[in-house]
Amino acid sequence: MGKLDNKVAIITGGASGIGESMVDLFVQEGAIVIAADINEAALEKASQKENVYGLKLNVASDESWKELAKEVNDRFGKIDILVNNAGISSEKPFAEINEEDWQKMLSINGFGPFAGMKHVTPYMAAQKKGSIINISSYTAIIGQGFNHYSASKGSVRALSKAAATTFGRQGIRVNALFPGIIETPMTKNLSTSRDLLDRLVQATPLQRLGQPSDIAQAALFLASDDSSYISGAELVIDGGFSAQ
Ligand code: NAD
């Protein structure tokens, strides 16, 4: 028996990195998973897996979220789990960030999870049960030189707490995960040199970079009924880096 048997889960950014790892683990544990992403080519690949349905979503669009939530509910009868994982990152220096950079970052990383919760919670409330997991970042806690990215992830942190109080009485749990540096296409695309990554490993108490499965396992716990009394919680998964 799987930990997510008969559950319907939406995972945003499900076509790459951490999201892809969650999609695979959730399916393995018995869920029907909707991998929702803006990257259609990657979605086609994801849809070839059993019990995975790739649907196009732009998390920064209210309308796109409204359509997706309705489509999932019409097709599968309910929505049990939402993982707000899609995101972009940037290392742009403080003085170079312009209004457009800020709006883009905050609309994908900040408005995205907000709109996801706004459109999915009515369906969860209808069955008086649901689990939402928002992916923030250790940079919401220690900055780490990621300026508007850190700000966007700080908004996810605060919004998760607010949503846990807003939706608790409808049986909906909301928790947040704070990954450290995880080896995914996102970190490969950063200008961060191998040398810097090596130094980060040295500075990490557990002496390694994170893997997507490290985050997926924590998301599985929060998605499953094993965590049925946990809401408003924050779990840092960074090998002890931000504890120093
Ligand atoms: P990734 O780049 O591998 O995957 C991100 C996915 O989000 C991609 O499939 C992309 O197409 C999708 N996406 C981007 N914009 C979108 C939009 N507007 N609508 C829908 N989908 C969109 O990244 P990852 O490393 O797997 O990161 C996943 C999440 O974890 C992100 O929120 C990221 O900020 C967070 N995170 C990552 C790390 C890390 O070190 N990799 C650390 C802390 C937090």
Q: What is the dihedral of CA 102, 104, 238, 25, to 10 degrees?
A: 170
Task: State the 10-residue block means of pLDDT for the chain, 244 residues long.
Answer: 97 97 98 98 94 98 98 98 97 96 98 99 98 98 89 98 98 98 83 76 95 98 98 98 94
186 Cβ contact partners less than 8 Å away, ≥ 6 residues apart: 16, 17, 87, 89
pLDDT of the residue at 186: 82
User: Which atom of ligand 1 has the smallest separation from the CA of 39?
Assistant: 11
Which positions are catalytic? 149
Closest CA relative to residue 225, chosen from 161, 135, 133, 131: 131
Task: Calculate helix-pair angle for 17-28, 212-223, nearest 10 degrees.
Answer: 50
Closest CA relative to residue 181, chosen from 138, 148, 143, 213: 138
pLDDT of the residue at 139: 95
Distances (CA, A) of 228 to 59, 61, 124, 172, 189: 27, 31, 15, 10, 37
Q: 37 C-alpha to center of ligand 1: Å?
A: 10
| Domain residue ranges in the chain | 8-183+211-235
pLDDT of the residue at 145: 75
- Ligand 1 probe mutation, 135, 156, 186, most atoms within 8 A of CB: 186
Q: Which residue's CA lies nearest to atom 4 of ligand 1?
A: 16
Task: Say which amino acid occupies 79.
Answer: I
As a CATH number, domain 8-183+211-235 is 3.40.50.720
Q: Which residue's CA lies nearest to atom 31 of ligand 1?
A: 87
The 10 Å Cβ neighbour count of residue 48 is 8
CB-defined site of ligand 1, < 6 Å: 12-13, 15-19, 37-39, 42, 57-60, 85-89, 108, 135, 137, 179, 181-182, 184-187
